[in-house]
Amino acid sequence: MPAPVSDALAALVRSGMPGAQAVLYGPDGQRTATAGVGDLATGAPYADNAHFRIGSVTKTFVATVVLQLAAEGVIDLEAPIARYLPNVVAGNGNDGARITVHQLLQHTSGLADFAPEDPSHKLPQQLDQTSDGKAYRDLTPADVVAIAMSIPPQFEPGAKFQYTNTNYALLNLLIEHVTGRPLAAEIGSRILDPLALRETYIPSAGDTALRDPHAHGYRSVDGTWLDVTDTEVAWAGAAGAIVSTGADLSRFVAALLSGKLLPAAQLAQMEQTMPMSTSTEMEYGLGLIRFRMPCGADGKDVREVWGHAGGIPGFSTLAIATPKGTAASLSINTVETNGQFSTVATALACAIA
């Protein structure tokens, strides 16, 4: 493992994180490095091929399926979502006739988030984020979309970028509507099976444990790490429910960026980005983020990688790759990270780009 990556992982743990694991993947094989612990109770490190929740990296899997369906002529990215899901995006100023599939993929729909991060927003009781997730158990993608429809839109469709989980809950419904099959089945047959990603899965409702081997996920409560590994996440669906491993994630993004999952035209669409903020370091495509990372001693050697980051109770994740088939993944066993996350991300990007 390159020294900058190992050093960054060690600094991450010294900064207070329980543990972390990084995987580098490429034509020359795979390398894994860990720091800290995967289990605070036993002191055991992240196990090789440890399972963890990938959060919003799930969105890249989902966007890939949507773009495959677009390549097959099943979905028109510029069509309004109401063409496929009539009367679903409606009420309180929300209008599915004015929001395209493309806008959902790129988070420019203007729809409100069904689980907004703004603490001033009063959530429906069933989405109280202080719970352990069990209250979410019976919520379907249609349910969380209905919750979002109770909130007025944030802005006019297409006006700007605003990351919103509701967009991908709608893409979940879209995929299931046009294929007649569950999202997990489509991701399985279109991505997991062809790439032999046997350690990646979408948990069903009530499946709160992680498959072995796995890292334990933690949340800080009054300065103490609380184990939140067993958590209900099926409700997150297309927005963030997938469980994977560093090896599987790295192979997935390497395959995607090197053109093994999408025709060239659809991959090019996926890579048409817009700024996520005033910074140009990150730009959002269709379920895919372009990262520009400063490398070299003076930071002037800017390298470009593509992928996605994710956070869900217990875990923070990053998966990045280049068109030449090199890739990296990072798992940290808490969602409450700090600035050292970006330091490790930069080290990984500089190692593969």
User: What's the DSSP call for residue 75?
Assistant: -
C-alpha to C-alpha distance for 23 and 247, rounded to whole angstroms: 7
C-alpha to C-alpha distance for 129 and 127, rounded to whole angstroms: 6
Q: Is the peptide bond before 213 cis (omega within 30 degrees of 0)?
A: yes
Other Cβ atoms closer than 10 A to 323: 15
User: What's the DSSP call for residue 204?
Assistant: P
- Of the CA atoms within 13 Å of residue 264, those in its CB half-sphere come to 0
At 115, phi and psi to the nearest 5?
-135, 70
| Token output for 142 | 């249609």
Catalytic-role residue among 56, 109, 244, 316: 56
Please say if 250 is a catalytic residue: no
For 83, residues 6+ apart whose C-beta sits below 8 A from its C-beta are 76
Residues with a catalytic annotation lie at 56
